[in-house]
Structure 1
Amino acid sequence: MTSCIIGIKGQTPSSTNQVDVWFDSLKSIASVLSEENQHLLKIIADKKPENITELSELTGRAVSNLSRTIKTLEKHGLINIESFGKSIRPKIKYSNFNILCDLSFSGGKKDLLENKFTLVSMFTGVGGLDMGFEGGFKYKDKYFESQPFSTLAAYEKDEKCVETIKKNLDIPISQVELSEELVNDFPSADVLIGGFPCQDFSSCGPKRGLSSDRGQLYKVLVKYMQHHKPKIVCAENVPNLARMQKGAVLETIVNDFSEQGYKVQVWDLFAPDYGVPQSRRRLFFVCTRNDLEGEPLKPEPKFVGMHRGTKWAIEDLEKVIDETIPNQSQYFKASKAKKGNGQGDEHCKADEPSYTIRANAKSRVQFHYELDRRLTIRECARLQTFPDSFVFPHSATSNVMQIGNAVPPMLSYEVATSIKEFLLKQD
């Protein structure tokens, strides 16, 4: 075994011949070589387990969790894997790691100093909530500065969502069907975020509430709070949750969060009040560990009475009919319904926020305010405040579902900024 020299793209001279392994960012290094994974590598080096089952017994970590970690370490070139039959044996390649980082290179010093708070993301979807905590994106003519959060791990069960994230975001995403049993093996972080499944709480869904298995998935967040004790938890869901059973559902969830040792705020945020050109309201559960002084402040709504309209967001796309802007040629051609209440057949109003972009649109995405067609996938993404550089790589049906389920990154950025300001004061 030898020493491993790790280079960071953009912060290590690319001409150097010393680098053994390249990473995209310091965030990626912090995630892959977390304290937990360093301990895992030491056990592999010292005990030389013959298979993953033996390694699981040595570490106390679940086999499924270890398998994902081992594959990640191999992907980055940090270990070798020997296969024999249906089993695999992990083999150490390096005895120590050294990061080669030149701060004179673009962004080096900034990244080193600002990646201050660690974060774990659950029910990640395509990362709308995560983008607010990451920052570093441009929407329309505004650049949203990078935030001081470093994502250690993100978990999402939907394969297509994971593909979309990998295509667009630099966060360590794993395809996992979350359950309370898995949480103890997840990395500990300062901040936990997650938009727990909303379908059984939505006014457009089956309204099963807490009676369904899906409605109980918020307890995965509760279990993480109980075991890892993050400083802050930010959970997101639909506003109808607060109205179910005359408020009993909301009270149950708040109580479950608070019983883990947290002060709980529920922020009811109307997206147009924060500059989002779409009529969308969401609940944010902001939980602060009891030993911390104070709580994050609800973001100030700066666009009350000055809501941005649909035309403001998408007017420049009217003459674009190809893929020079990704997803702009992709839209539904469904005719108007002959019966029913006409939901989805409305024309957006040019000077008002658009209708809510729905995940279950079933081809009935609202019509353009002027053109004789339904909104394109790109126009829907714009109304959700995704940057044009964020590409949705699937069918129109899958793409609009991903967009409709997402938290608008611009709204998430306001929430994340409030949490950032609170945590900085704690230090």
Structure 2
Amino acid sequence: MGYSRSSKNGGNHCKKSPPARQERQSIQKSSPTGKFKVVSMFSGCGGMDLGFKGGFSIFNKRYKNRPFEIIWANDLNQAACRSYKLNLKHEIKCGNVWDLVDTLPPSTDVVIGGFPCQDISINGKQAGVNGARSGLYRAMLFAIDKCQPRIFVAENVKGLLHKSNKESLDQVITDFKSLGYKVSFKLYNAALYGVPQARERIFIIGTKNHQFDFDPPKEICNATNWLTAEDAVRDLEEVPEHGVSNHVWSRANKSPEQGSRILKPNRPAQTMRAECHGNIQFHYRLNRRISMREAARFQSFPDSFIFDAKLRETERQIGNAVPPILAWHIAGSVYDFLTREITEKA
């Protein structure tokens, strides 16, 4: 794209990062391609799917291919579907999930999805999982029940852990367990996995084989060596608007309604939100709000990932996404679980 990023940490996501995971060889998988099959629910523009597939580069680091193949994906938002197809290079079923569940495959190895959270988020209506949007997690229940994956990964906002949402969390866990899965959950801070954003999200993991535990990926950063906002976008400071793809920003003024949050250069960015309405953060040094390319960097999307939408829809796609780097680490632990299960059964 003509611009390369330099980092004061020498291009590494964190100082003294652990060695790359050594993946086991000669593992039998259910797909003819030799990859584990994945069904993706509420796929959005494809952040979680990109992380599971791997094979992307950002911040001068290469995230190797993962042995996963997306065999079915769905989202309601047409702009998100356009971005997904453009970047993931395979089809996504665009439309109401309940109109498309009959097209789900009869089986899969993994089901992934970040079910809608507007009714759970602290910034949302807090109607819980019985709200009109968040209740869509039942479509994920349907997919798991039909496809019988060996493991599933469900992502949601930190607000699901809030005491006001205790009944909702209990209901979600109970419903997943009722399908015959061993269920655990953990709160992840993306900044501790090499993402330059202090984004906290809950991941709920269900495993069909109760004999083996799912081991979460180990954190690779801490407050002394994580990627900062300046690390992530310093090289874009002198790039004019439209100088690179999606490098465009909101002109919304500072105000109580539109927000006036300013990034700190020496810390990870604040959480990228989907429903900003102009409330996206201001640059740590420049007199403007951050661009969509910068927001995408904070979410760990590579510069080669192009959002096929105007500013408002791009903002929504970025804010709704699972950071690909975080998903890549989760995928590594999913792979470890699946291969351990196969190896110990042999």
Instruction: Tell me which interval the TM-score lies in, with the shorter structure as reference length.
Output: 0.7 to 0.9
1:357 equivalenced with 2:272 (yes/no)? yes
Q: Which has the higher strand share?
A: 1
Counterpart residue number, 1:286? 205
Tell me if the contact between 2:274 and 2:316 (Cα under 8 Å) persists in the aligned partners.
yes
- Closer, same or farther: CA 221–365 of 1 in aligned 2, 3 Å: same
- SS in structure 1 at match of 2:70: strand
Q: What percent identity do the matched residue pairs reach?
A: 37
Q: Deviations over 1:61-85 (max 9, x none)?
A: xxxxxxxxxxxxxxxxxxxxxxxxx
Counterpart residue number, 1:162? 81
Q: Deviations over 1:38-69 (max 9, x none)?
A: xxxxxxxxxxxxxxxxxxxxxxxxxxxxxxxx
Residue 317 of structure 1 and its aligned partner are, at CA, apart by 0.6
Counterpart residue number, 1:65? none
Residue 184 of structure 1 and its aligned partner are, at CA, apart by 4.6
Q: Deviations over 1:289-345 (max 9, x none)?
A: 0x35312211111102222110000001111114342111x10111111x46xx731
- SS in structure 1 at match of 2:201: strand
Match of 2:58 among 109, 131, 139: 139
- SS in structure 1 at match of 2:154: strand
Residue 127 of structure 1 and its aligned partner are, at CA, apart by 0.6
Match of 1:380 among 295, 300, 306: 295
- TM-score w.r.t. the length of structure 1 is 0.70
- Closer, same or farther: CA 246–319 of 1 in aligned 2, 3 Å: closer
Counterpart residue number, 1:8? none
1:370 equivalenced with 2:290 (yes/no)? no
Counterpart residue number, 2:330? 415
Counterpart residue number, 2:250? 332
Aligned counterparts, 1:21-420, within 5 A: 115-179=34-98, 182-187=100-105, 188-245=107-164, 247-289=166-208, 291=209, 293-305=211-223, 306-328=225-247, 330-337=248-255, 339=256, 344-420=259-335
Q: Deviations over 1:163-186 (max 9, x none)?
A: 11111112321102112x753541
Tell me if the contact between 1:242 and 1:250 (Cα under 8 Å) persists in the aligned partners.
yes
Distance in 1 (alpha carbons) for counterparts of 2:58 and 2:110: 25
Residue 223 of structure 1 and its aligned partner are, at CA, apart by 1.5
- SS in structure 2 at match of 1:217: helix
Q: Which amino acid aligns with 2:253?
A: S
Q: Which amino acid aligns with 2:283?
A: H
Tell me if the contact between 2:120 and 2:157 (Cα under 8 Å) persists in the aligned partners.
yes
Q: Greater RCO between the two (CA within 8 Å, min separation 6)? A: 2
Match of 1:425 among 332, 340, 344: 340
- Closer, same or farther: CA 333–246 of 1 in aligned 2, 3 Å: closer
Distance in 2 (alpha carbons) for counterparts of 1:163 and 1:422: 32
Number of aligned residues: 310
Residue 221 of structure 1 and its aligned partner are, at CA, apart by 1.3
**Which segments of 5 or more consecutive residues in structure 1 lack a partner in the other structure?**
1-111
Residue 211 of structure 1 and its aligned partner are, at CA, apart by 2.8
**Which segments of 5 or more consecutive residues in structure 2 lack a partner in the other structure?**
1-30
* Structure 1 vs Structure 2 CA RMSD: 1.7
